[in-house]
Amino acid sequence: MEQSDMQPSSNSNSDRRVDSTRRRAEAADDQARLQDELVRQQEQVRRQDEQARWQAQPEETAHMDAPTDPVWQRWREIQSNFVDDPRSSVAEAHALVSGVVDRVVHQLEEQRSQLEQSWSGGTDISTEDLRHGLQGYREFLSRLLSESEKPRG
């Protein structure tokens, strides 16, 4: 009978070890699930913070007079997509800015050409016409420099 007395005790110890192992595994699973949930919530908060920061009106865009301007509408679309696809947003911003720079350069070249035509059309240009031409260049240069010398933030 002693043998039968030992067997239940052995089973009982074995059952306790299995239960203990199972409880540790369940606790580890619970901890992993909690950790995953915490990481997911932190990522969600980070995305929301980033989205709010991008949607806030920065000081340098506060001067926009035309909220319906297609360029600024496109800019807002690019900004709103940044959180989901940052690399694509930056590439789209590059393309948008490149297009605007090309357009501005073309406009500046046209203005410079008009200034040149006002004085280079012949040899019988009066001094008064040349004075107006020089004033035009001074104003043009002033506009160019005032745009390029604005403080950057």
Composition of the chain by helix, strand, coil, percent to 5: 80, 0, 20
Q: CA dist 59 to 67, 76, 94, 152, Å? A: 15, 15, 21, 12
Q: Specify the pLDDT at position 97.
A: 95
Which stretch of DSSP H or E encloses residue 147?
Answer: helix 127-148
| Structure tokens, 114 | 């008009």
Q: Specify the pLDDT at position 106.
A: 95
pLDDT in tens, 99-139: 999 999 999 999 999 888 888 877 788 888 889 889 999 99
Q: Are 100 and 118 in contact (CB under 8 A)?
A: no
Q: Specify the pLDDT at position 49.
A: 62
Residues of the chain scoring pLDDT < 70: 1-11, 45-67, 147-153
